[in-house]
Structure 1
Amino acid sequence: MTRVPRPSRKWVSAQAPTPHTRRKTVRLKRISAACAALTVSAALALTGCSGDSKGSGSGGNGGSDQAKTTDINPQDRDKLKQGGTLRVAITQLPTNWNILAVDGNQVDNSDIFYWTGVNTLESNDKGEVSPNKNYLTGWDVEEAKDGQPQKVTLHINPKAKWNMGRQIDWQDYQSLWKACNGENKAFTPASTDGFDKITSIEKGETDQDVVITYKSTQPDWQAPISQLYPREMTSDPNMFNSGMTEPNNDYLAGPFIFDKIDKAQRVATIVPNPKWWGDKPMLDSVSFRELEDSASSQAFANSEIDVATFINSDGYNQAKNRADGEIRAAGSLQWRHVTINSQARNLGDEKVRQAITRGINREAVAKSDLAGLPVANTPEQVMLGNHFFMPGQEGYADNGEKWSYDAEAAGKLLDEAGWKLPEGKKIREKDGQPLSIDYMMLKDVPTSENEGKLIQADLAKIGIDVKMVTKAQDEFPKFLIDGDFGLTTFTWQGTIFPMNNIGQIYGSDSESNYARLNNTKLDELRDQADAEMDHAKRVDLTNEIDAMIWEEGHTIPLYRRIGYVGVPKNLANYGSFGLESIVPENVGYVK
C-alpha cells in the first residue's frame, strides 16, 4: 500500500526552499501531517498546505499534456531482491529533527521521517487516503448531527510499539494534540491547523482505542493524526521545541532506525529496524547526504549517489549521462513563490505590495528557472494562479489573473501610495526617502540568485530599488522565522489536503505566516472552510480566501514544479511520487 504524505506544509531548502508546514517566531503556525513544507531550492523546501485532496488520474500540471501523477516503477515485493543500499542526496541535514516543530518543518526532514517515524496514513496516486495498517487497523467516524459534534475512534494496531518498547496508545495522541493545538504558548508547532478543531482526546475501550471529539464538523479530520511522536517527547515544550537536535530512535517506530550521523561528512545513515513488526525492508541501508544541487547532479552522474532531484537544466542534462540511470518525472506538490514581509522596510503599505505583485514578470521568471527542462517549452502548464489548488486539479481557479504583470498599473499603484518618481531619477521617493527594499538571497543557490536578479530588474523598471542581501543556506529558515528579510523566494511543498491548512501560512496566529499579515476576515473565512462539509461550498470559500491573499500582497505564486528525480533504472517503488506516499519497506532493486 502507499503511504500518505504528511498533512502539513513544508519548506524546501536553499535552491528552492520547499516548506512542510512551518511556523514563525512571531507566532505563526505550522501544519502537521496535513501541513506544507518549504524549500529553498529543489532542495530547501518547507511543507505547507497546498496539494491535491482528490487527485486526477491524468496528473495535475494543467494543459493538455499533463504530467503523470506518479512515476516510481511499481513492483511487487516478490520481484525484488533482498539487500542493497540507497544513497539519497538532500539539501540540508536537519538541525531540529522534530518535523512538527516550526524550525523542523523541512522537506528533507520529513522525507527521512517517512522511513523512520510513525506515518499512520497512506495515499495512492489519486491522493485517496487510507489507514496504514502497520499503525492503525481502522477507524470509526460518527458524523456531527442533532447537535452532537463529530467523533472519530482510531484503532491502533496492538503490534505497534515505540522503539523504546512501549505500545503506542491513546495518550500519545492526547499529548500531541495538547502540544499542537495552540493553547499552550510554550510550544512552537509548525501549525495548529486541525489540532485546534479538537475538543478532547480520550481512551476508548482499550488503551489502543483513541476517541477524538471535534468542536463541530471537520472534513479533513485525518490531517492532524498522520504523524505521531510519543508523549515522552511531546509533553515537554523544551523537548518538543528544541530537544531533538539529534535523532532519537526511542521516539520513533518506523521500518528503519538511525545507525549513524556523520556531521563532518554531512551524512545520516539508517538501517532496518530489528523491532519492526511489518514486512521486512528490502534494503540493507539508506544514506542521506547533504549536497548542493550542482554537486548532487554531478555525484549522480558519477554514480556516487543513487537519488538526486533536479530543478534546472544543468542537473537534468548531467543526470542523463548516467548509463544505468533514468529520470522519473511526475507532477509535484512543490510550488515556487515570493514571500513579502509586510513588517519590513517600506513594505507595510498594501498598495506597495500590490505594485510588487504586478511589477514582477512571473512567466519570465518561470521560463528562466525552467530553461532547458522539458516543461520549459510549455510554461503555461505550470504557471500558478492559486495558493491552494494546483493547475488541472478540481477547484483550481486562476485568481491571480487580475494581478498579472503590468508595469504601468504597478506604477499607478505606487503613485497612489505617495511614492513619486522625481524628475531625472530612477528610484521613487516619499518624504525625501528612496523606495528601497531588501531581497534575501541564498548563497550558492542558483535558483534563489536567478530569481533575485530578475525581480531586481523588474522592480527597477517601476522605480523600486532592490538591495540583494546574501544569506548562507544554514540560515534558512531562521531568517524567515526571525523576519529578517524584505522579499525572498523559496518553495512550499503541499500535501493531499489542500484546504486543510489555510491557517498555516496565512492565518493571523500562525508561526508560519512569514508575511506577518493579520487579516481577521480571512481568519473568519478559514474557520468556515475548516468546518464546511459541503465540498463545493468549501472550494468556493477557499477560492474566496485565495483572492483575498492576492489582494493583500501576502505571497506571490510563481509556478508549480514538475518533480524530476534521477534514480538507477532497476530501482523499484521509488522516484517522483506526486500524490502517492512512499512505502519504505518496499523500496528495493529488481531481481
Structure 2
Amino acid sequence: MRARLALPVALLAAISVAATACQSSSGKDAAPADGQGERKAASSVVDYNPQPYDNIKDGGTYTTVGTFDEQGNPFNVNATLTASRVWSWYNADAITYSPTGEVQYNPDYYSDVKVSVEGGNQKVTLTINPKAAFNDGTPIDWTAIQATWKANNGSDKAFAASSTDGYDRITSVEKGADAKQAVITFKGVNAAWSSLFTTFLHPKAATVDNFNKAYVKTAHPEWGAGPYTVGSWDAHSGNITFVRNPKWWGKKGKLDKRVYVNLESTAAVNAFKNGQVDYTSASDAENLKQIKGLKGTEIRSGGSPFEYALYFNTKSSVLADINVRKAIQQAVDRTQIAKIQFQGLDYKEPLPGSAVLYSFQKGYQDNVSTVLKYAPQEAGKTLDAAGWKPGDGGVRVKNGKKLEVGYTLLGDDPLAKATAGAFAAMLKQVGVQLTIKKADDSDFSKILSERRFDLFLSGNRSMDPFGARYLCDFYCSDRDSNITGAGTAELDKEIRAATQIADLDQQVAAVNKVEQKALQQYAFLPLYSGPSTYGVKKGLANIGATIFYSPLPETVGWQK
C-alpha cells in the first residue's frame, strides 16, 4: 500500500480494486527514456473534465460501486482508503491539494491561515469560518483542532491512531483571539503540516472509545459537517446515499444525491454497461475492452498516485527468516508482474523504487534497485546458505519441514488470479511452494489488522504530496500501520530523524538513504503503480484521473 490518505497510510482493498484514483505531481507526461517507449517516470497526466461550480447543473444523482468500511474513522489504524472516501462526503474537506500537490484551503472551514516561525519553532494560526458548525449544532472551533491533535499524537496509546507523525511534533493547540481561532505550535518546522488537518474530528468523536469503536460499520452524521449528509446507511445491503445537508453554510451541493451501490468489484463493469452506475474503474485490459465505445460514455485516463506492493508477514513462522524473505524477493520478476497488469492497456512505466515517493516527484530515487536485483540463481544460493536444501518434487526442506509459503488472494478477479499464479511459478523455480489461500473482499481489513497472511498484495493511494512524512508508517517496528512487522529500534531512530528534517530537499535525501536500509529487511516489495483509467458517463464533471486532487463534494455533478 503506498497510500497516504489525506490522513495516514490507507490500505487499499487489494489488487482487484486496482486503479481507482488519480494522478501525480509534475504536470507534463514523462518523456520516453529510449526508443522502446520505456518511461523515465510514471505518467503525471490528469483527465477529469474540470469544470467551475457555475458550469454544473443543479440536481441529478451520481452513483458508483462502493460501500462503507469496517472502520469508518479515517484517522484509525484499521481504516482503509474506502473510509476516507466515504468520510469526505459527510465531513469536513478543509484542506485539499491541486493535482500537482499545491495546498488549497477551503474558506468554508478555514477563513484565514497564517504560518510563521518564531525562535526556530513553527506556528500555524487557523481562523475558522464563523458560520462553521457540526450538524449537532456544536460550533467548529479550536477545540476540534485540539481534539484531533490529542487523539493522533501518540501520547495516549489507547487511541488506535493510524499515524502519529507530525502530530507528535505539535507542542500545543490553544485558543487564539477567540474560540474560532486555533493556534498550533510545533517543535521545529513541519513543511507538511497541512496534511494533519485536512479534516478533523468532532470533540465527542475524539474520546478513546468513540475514536476506536463508534464508526465501526456505522456513520455519525450528527458529528459531521459539509454540503452533504447521510440520507441512508443500509447495514444490510451495504448501500449508502448522501443528500444535501440543510445545515450547510457554504455553496450548496450540486447533486440531489450521491449513491454508493455495494457490488463485488467484478460486477462493477456490468453495472456501468447497464447504466446502473455512472463511473467505474477500468483497471485491466478486459474491463477497458468491455466499456470502451459505450454510447454516452468516455474513457478518462491519467497517472496514478497508487502503488501496489507485496507484503511479507515477518511474524509468520517461515517468513521470520530474513534469508527466506530475501530469496523470495530475488525470485520475483517484477517486470513480468507489471506486464501482466498492463497487458492490453498500452501503458509503460519504470518499476517503482520507493514506498513513499513516485518517480514523477522531485527527489525520487529508485531505492529498491539499489538493494535488490531480480536474480533467481542468487535466490537459490541464499536458501542454500540458510539451510534450505532441495527436496522431493523440487520443494526445499529444512529440518524435515517443506518450504511452503501462503499467498492470500482476495475475491475472484481474473487478473488477481493470474498474478498469484505468476508468483507461484516464479517461486517454484527456486524451491518455494506457494499455497494460494482464497478470502473474500470483505475480509480485507481483518487480514491486515490481524496479520492473517504470509504474503499479501495490496495497494496504497497518496492523498497528499508529502511522501517522506509517511516513511515511519511503512517501516517503523513500533507502528501498527507497518503490517509486515519488520524493523529494528535502531532503524526506527534513523527514520524518525530523517522525517523531522525541516528543509524538504534535505529531508527527501535523508529519507532515500534510510529507506535503502529499511528495504534490506526484505519485508516490503514495491511492484507497480499503473494508470488511473475510468469509464465515465459523458458530462460528469470533476471526476476521473486527478492525481493529488480531491474535488470538493459540492463541485461534483453534471456539466450544463
TM-score, normalised to structure 1's length? 0.89
Where 1:479 maps in the other structure, the secondary structure is helix
Q: Aligned pair in 2 of structure 1 residues 556, 520: CA closer, same or farther (>3 Å)?
A: same
Q: Percent identity?
A: 30
Match of 1:244 in 2: 215
Match of 1:420 in 2: 389
Q: Distance in 1 between matches of 2:549 and 2:449?
A: 30
Q: Aligned pair in 2 of structure 1 residues 206, 447: CA closer, same or farther (>3 Å)?
A: farther
Residue 152 (structure 1) aligned with residue 120 (structure 2): no
Whether the aligned pair in 1 keeps the contact of 2:94 and 2:106 (CA below 8 Å) is yes
Q: Aligned pair in 2 of structure 1 residues 451, 498: CA closer, same or farther (>3 Å)?
A: same
Q: Distance in 1 between matches of 2:494 and 2:106?
A: 32
Q: Distance in 1 between matches of 2:128 and 2:31?
A: 37
Q: Distance in 1 between matches of 2:548 and 2:26?
A: 10
Q: Distance in 1 between matches of 2:419 and 2:516?
A: 24
Match of 1:553 in 2: 522
Where 1:190 maps in the other structure, the secondary structure is coil
Whether the aligned pair in 1 keeps the contact of 2:305 and 2:462 (CA below 8 Å) is yes
Match of 1:579 in 2: 548
Tell me how far 1:99 sits from its aligned partner. 1.3
1:494 alignment partner, one of 459, 462, 475: 462
Whether the aligned pair in 2 keeps the contact of 1:440 and 1:471 (CA below 8 Å) is yes
Q: Distance in 2 between matches of 1:243 and 1:472?
A: 24
Corresponding letter in the other structure for 1:88: T
1:519-538 to structure 2, matched below 5 A, reads: 519-538=488-507
1:299-314 to structure 2, matched below 5 A, reads: 299-314=271-286
Residue 464 (structure 1) aligned with residue 440 (structure 2): no
Corresponding letter in the other structure for 1:244: Y
Tell me how far 1:530 sits from its aligned partner. 2.2
Residue 130 (structure 1) aligned with residue 100 (structure 2): no
1:442-453 to structure 2, matched below 5 A, reads: 442-453=410-421
2:401 alignment partner, one of 433, 437, 444: 433
Match of 1:40 in 2: 14
Match of 1:29 in 2: none
Q: Distance in 2 between matches of 1:484 and 1:532?
A: 36
Single out whichever of 301-310 and 392-401 deviates more from structure 2.
392-401
Residue 58 (structure 1) aligned with residue 12 (structure 2): no
Q: Distance in 2 between matches of 1:225 and 1:413?
A: 46
1:502-513 to structure 2, matched below 5 A, reads: 502-513=471-482
Q: Distance in 1 between matches of 2:452 and 2:225?
A: 37
Match of 2:324 in 1: 352
Q: Aligned pair in 2 of structure 1 residues 100, 51: CA closer, same or farther (>3 Å)?
A: farther
Tell me how far 1:19 sits from its aligned partner. 5.3
Q: Distance in 2 between matches of 1:331 and 1:441?
A: 26
Single out whichever of 354-363 and 494-503 deviates more from structure 2.
494-503
Match of 1:15 in 2: none
Tell me how far 1:59 sits from its aligned partner. 4.5
Match of 1:396 in 2: 364
Match of 2:55 in 1: 79
Q: Aligned pair in 2 of structure 1 residues 321, 51: CA closer, same or farther (>3 Å)?
A: closer
- Per-residue Cα deviation, 1:25-44 (whole angstroms, up to 9, x for no partner): xxxxxxx6254442313527
Corresponding letter in the other structure for 2:43: A
Tell me how far 1:568 sits from its aligned partner. 1.0
- Per-residue Cα deviation, 1:224-246 (whole angstroms, up to 9, x for no partner): 11121101111x21211111131
- Per-residue Cα deviation, 1:350-393 (whole angstroms, up to 9, x for no partner): 22111111111111111112222231xx3xx1521221111232
- Per-residue Cα deviation, 1:217-266 (whole angstroms, up to 9, x for no partner): 222111211121101111x2121111113111111112110100233433
Match of 1:26 in 2: none
Where 2:210 maps in the other structure, the secondary structure is helix
Q: Distance in 2 between matches of 1:65 and 1:468?
A: 33
Whether the aligned pair in 2 keeps the contact of 1:44 and 1:490 (CA below 8 Å) is no
Q: Aligned pair in 2 of structure 1 residues 398, 456: CA closer, same or farther (>3 Å)?
A: same
Residue 161 (structure 1) aligned with residue 133 (structure 2): yes
Single out whichever of 72-81 and 550-559 deviates more from structure 2.
72-81
Whether the aligned pair in 2 keeps the contact of 1:44 and 1:108 (CA below 8 Å) is no
1:96 alignment partner, one of 55, 71, 75: 71
Whether the aligned pair in 2 keeps the contact of 1:61 and 1:331 (CA below 8 Å) is no
Match of 2:423 in 1: 455
- Per-residue Cα deviation, 1:462-488 (whole angstroms, up to 9, x for no partner): 011111112221111211111111001
Match of 1:24 in 2: none
Corresponding letter in the other structure for 2:286: D
Residue 278 (structure 1) aligned with residue 235 (structure 2): no
Tell me how far 1:307 sits from its aligned partner. 1.2
Q: Distance in 1 between matches of 2:487 and 2:167?
A: 21
Q: Aligned pair in 2 of structure 1 residues 281, 82: CA closer, same or farther (>3 Å)?
A: same
Q: Which runs of 5+ in 1 are unaligned?
A: 1-10, 12-17, 22-31
Q: Aligned pair in 2 of structure 1 residues 34, 432: CA closer, same or farther (>3 Å)?
A: closer
Residue 567 (structure 1) aligned with residue 543 (structure 2): no
Corresponding letter in the other structure for 2:47: D
Where 2:212 maps in the other structure, the secondary structure is helix
- Per-residue Cα deviation, 1:39-79 (whole angstroms, up to 9, x for no partner): 313527999xx996xx2111569826963432111122232
Residue 109 (structure 1) aligned with residue 77 (structure 2): no
Single out whichever of 55-64 and 514-523 deviates more from structure 2.
55-64
Q: Distance in 1 between matches of 2:550 and 2:480?
A: 26
Match of 2:448 in 1: 480
- Per-residue Cα deviation, 1:122-161 (whole angstroms, up to 9, x for no partner): 211211013111111122222253xx52222111111111
Q: Aligned pair in 2 of structure 1 residues 243, 44: CA closer, same or farther (>3 Å)?
A: farther
Q: Distance in 2 between matches of 1:61 and 1:303?
A: 37
Single out whichever of 428-437 and 280-289 deviates more from structure 2.
428-437
Whether the aligned pair in 1 keeps the contact of 2:499 and 2:511 (CA below 8 Å) is no
Q: Distance in 2 between matches of 1:583 and 1:341?
A: 37
Q: Distance in 2 between matches of 1:80 and 1:217?
A: 40
Q: Distance in 2 between matches of 1:219 and 1:170?
A: 21
Match of 2:191 in 1: 219
Tell me how far 1:295 sits from its aligned partner. 0.8
Whether the aligned pair in 2 keeps the contact of 1:20 and 1:494 (CA below 8 Å) is yes
Q: Aligned pair in 2 of structure 1 residues 183, 446: CA closer, same or farther (>3 Å)?
A: farther
Whether the aligned pair in 2 keeps the contact of 1:153 and 1:210 (CA below 8 Å) is yes
Q: Aligned pair in 2 of structure 1 residues 534, 20: CA closer, same or farther (>3 Å)?
A: closer
Corresponding letter in the other structure for 2:53: R
Q: Distance in 1 between matches of 2:204 and 2:415?
A: 40
Q: Aligned pair in 2 of structure 1 residues 211, 493: CA closer, same or farther (>3 Å)?
A: same
Q: Aligned pair in 2 of structure 1 residues 219, 126: CA closer, same or farther (>3 Å)?
A: same
Tell me how far 1:204 sits from its aligned partner. 1.1
Whether the aligned pair in 2 keeps the contact of 1:42 and 1:491 (CA below 8 Å) is no
Where 1:444 maps in the other structure, the secondary structure is coil
Q: Distance in 2 between matches of 1:46 and 1:585?
A: 20
